[in-house]
């Protein structure tokens, strides 16, 4: 697998999620955390949004982080001036490339849009900036036009081209083909930016990387426009565990990072969310719990500690004898097989009644009640 760099856009596309607002302090804390765990590049925001956003970007720029920082810009000179005013040495310039987008934003005048891109790249390069260009809606663009825009961007001085599946309409197979075309034609690196509208953001990001993209956009917990972006924790762990490539990210801190971003965004992370959801290392089903007690590899793709979790055995409707006795033994309670079965029956009944699993305290109370009812008989 080719070497790949993460360009995390939690602070830009992540914050674009409807209803999400990070304070300056939250932006700084997220940037610092991402930098500390080894994320090498951060897209920190959009200076053209105005004073407040510029203050936050300046504050991040003044932190002296190891990560390279980028600001997002339209192909508008004043946007780039605002980025320079924030101390940015790297700018990302976006240009629509699909017919739909060019019609809506440039009245279909693609020559005008290309001229704008050329002027903006030249302006930024003259300012001594490192320039990346994003093809907005690349996935729905005519492939030849997309290629032309990317080649022009390269010729005019861009140092990277971003392939955007802006509305998340690709699958991994089509992503692979489209990204491969760009990678084969360009000498500058290609970045992939994917959205999760059909639940394929991470899979598509990986397909783009397989096709030769050497940079990938992520956001923590997959936060972002509509259904969000490829999640940082998913991309990092998939590359580490499926492809065996360690990207140098301190993965045991991914959980803490996800909690920081979830709190700042007011988002509820679903328990089943890959890597950082609270159920990712919780086992209730009897067969799973029994397997995990023998060898955790039976039902876990990797050790929970690798991403900051601890394994949990939970008792509830789907439990079996082994997990019940294991949990009770941890509290010094050793039951015979008949007693265990009767506690298990009670656990099932209670769980069905309460429509949830039971807490340890509730399990211990059940045992007490069971013992009491046995003694009374
Ligand atoms: C796919 C993406 O995620 S792209 C990033 C999207 N992010 C955001 O929009 C969040 C931040 N945006 C903002 O704060 C505002 O939209 C601003 C400051 C950028 C612009 O605000 P406004 O001037 O009020 O314009 P508004 O947002 O209503 O419309 C967008 C304008 O940008 C133009 N535009 C959109 N994309 C581009 C582009 N890549 N290059 C040049 N112009 C563009 C539109 O055509 C429209 O221009 P018009 O005002 O001449 O008609
Ligand atoms: O950088 C760009 O060109 C647009 C990025 C983006 O957020 C998108 O296309 O979804």
Band the pLDDT of 372: cuts 50, 70, 90: low
Please tell me the predicted confidence (pLDDT) of residue 371. 75
Per-residue DSSP letter, 11: I
Q: Is 136 in the pocket of ligand 2 (CB under 6 A)?
A: yes
**Residues 45-69: tens digit of each pLDDT:** 999 999 999 999 999 999 999 999 9
164 CB within 6 A, ligand 2: yes
Residue 108 has a pLDDT of 94
Q: What are phi and psi of 257, to 5 degrees?
A: -60, -45
Q: Whose CA is nearest to atom 8 of ligand 2?
A: 166
Ligand 2 neighbour 8 (Cβ under 6 A): no
What is the set of domains in the chain, with CATH numbers? Answer: 3-263 (3.20.20.70), 280-374 (4.10.430.20)
Q: Does the beta carbon of 313 sit less than 6 angstroms from any atom of ligand 1? A: no
Instruction: Report residue 273: phi and psi, to 5°.
Output: -60, 130
For 8-19, write each residue's pLDDT tens digit.
999 999 999 999
CA angle 315, 258, 20 (to 5 degrees): 120
- Find the helix packing angle between 172-185 and 143-156, rounded to 10°: 40
Beta carbon of 16 within 6 Å of any ligand 1 atom: yes
Q: What is the mean pLDDT of residues 353-373?
A: 91
- φ/ψ of 284, rounded to 5, equals -110, -45
> What string of DSSP letters covers 65-89?
-SSEEEEEEES-HHHHHHHHHTT-S
Looking at the chain, the whole-number percentage of residues with pLDDT higher than 70 is 98
CA of 28 to the centre of ligand 2 (A): 22
Cα 326 to middle of ligand 2, angstroms: 50
73 C-alpha to center of ligand 1: Å? 9
Which one of 74, 166, 218 would you pick to mutate in the ligand 2 pocket, going by the greatest count of ligand atoms within 8 A of its CB? 166
Answer whether 261's CB lies under 8 Å from 228's CB.
no
pLDDT digits (tens, 9 = 90+) for 152-181: 999 999 999 999 999 999 999 999 999 999
Question: What residues are paired with 95 via a beta bridge?
Answer: 135
Cβ(75) to ligand 1 under 6 A? yes
80 lines ligand 1 (CB under 6 A): no
- Residue of 82, 105, 223 best suited for mutating to test ligand 1, as the one with most atoms within 8 Å of CB: 105
Q: Determine how many CB atoms are found less than 10 A away from the CB of residue 209.
A: 26
Q: Is the CB of 300 under 6 A from ligand 2?
A: no
Interval between CA 114 and ligand 2 midpoint (Å): 17
For 71-116, what is each residue's pLDDT tens digit?
Answer: 999 999 999 999 999 999 999 999 999 999 999 999 999 999 999 9
Residue 70: which of 124, 115, 9 has the closest Cα? 9
Q: Could you tell me what percent of the chain has a pLDDT over 90?
A: 97
- pLDDT given at position 1: 77
What are the tens digits of pLDDT across the range 288-333?
999 999 999 999 999 999 999 999 999 999 999 999 999 999 999 9
pLDDT at 147: 98
Q: Is 203 in the pocket of ligand 1 (CB under 6 A)?
A: no
* Most ligand 2 atoms within 8 A of CB, residue of 11, 113, 193 to mutate: 193
The model scores a pTM over 0.80: yes
Alpha carbons 47 and 45: distance in angstroms, whole number: 6
Q: What is the rounded CA–CA span in Å between residue 158 and residue 131?
A: 5
Looking from the CA of residue 72, the nearest atom of ligand 2 is 1
Q: What is the ipTM of this complex?
A: 0.98
The atom of ligand 1 lying closest to the CA of 166 is 1
Please determine, for residue 375, whether its predicted confidence score (pLDDT) is greater than 90. Answer: no
């Amino acid at each position: 697998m080719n070497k790949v760099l993460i360009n995390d856009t939690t602070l830009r596309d992540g914050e674009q999620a409807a209803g999400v607002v990070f304070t300056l302090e939250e932006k700084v804390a997220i940037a610092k955390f991402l930098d500390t765990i080894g994320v090498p590049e951060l897209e920190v925001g959009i200076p053209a949004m105005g004073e407040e956003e510029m203050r936050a970007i300046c504050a991040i720029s003044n932190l002296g982080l190891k990560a390279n920082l980028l600001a997002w810009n339209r192909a508008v000179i004043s946007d780039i001036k605002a980025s320079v005013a924030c101390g940015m040495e790297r700018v990302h310039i976006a240009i629509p490339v699909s017919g739909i987008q060019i019609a809506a934003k440039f009245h279909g005048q693609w020559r005008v849009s290309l001229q704008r891109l050329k002027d903006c790249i030249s302006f930024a390069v003259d300012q001594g900036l490192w320039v990346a260009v994003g093809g907005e809606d690349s996935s729905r663009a005519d492939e030849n036009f997309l290629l032309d825009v990317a080649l022009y961007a390269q010729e005019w001085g861009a140092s990277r081209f971003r392939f955007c599946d802006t509305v998340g309409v690709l699958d991994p197979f089509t992503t692979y083909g489209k990204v491969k075309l760009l990678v084969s034609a360009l000498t500058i690196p290609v970045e992939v930016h994917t959205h999760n509208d059909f639940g394929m953001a991470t899979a598509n990001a990986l397909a783009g990387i397989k096709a030769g993209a050497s940079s990938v956009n992520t956001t923590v917990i997959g936060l972002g426009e509509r259904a969000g972006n490829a999640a940082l924790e998913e991309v990092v762990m998939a590359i580490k565990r499926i492809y065996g490539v360690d990207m140098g990210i301190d993965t045991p801190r991914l959980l803490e990072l996800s909690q920081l971003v979830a709190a700042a965004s007011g988002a509820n992370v679903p328990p089943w969310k890959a890597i950082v959801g609270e159920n990712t290392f919780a086992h209730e089903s009897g067969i799973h719990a029994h397997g995990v007690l023998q060898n955790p590899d039976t039902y876990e793709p990797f050790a929970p500690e690798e991403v900051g979790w601890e394994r949990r055995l939970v008792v509830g409707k789907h439990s079996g004898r082994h997990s019940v006795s294991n949990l009770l033994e941890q509290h010094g309670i050793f039951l015979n097989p008949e007693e265990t079965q009767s506690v298990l029956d009670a656990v099932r009944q209670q769980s069905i009644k309460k429509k949830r699993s039971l807490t340890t305290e509730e399990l211990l109370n059940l045992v007490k009640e069971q013992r009491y009812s046995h003694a009374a008989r």
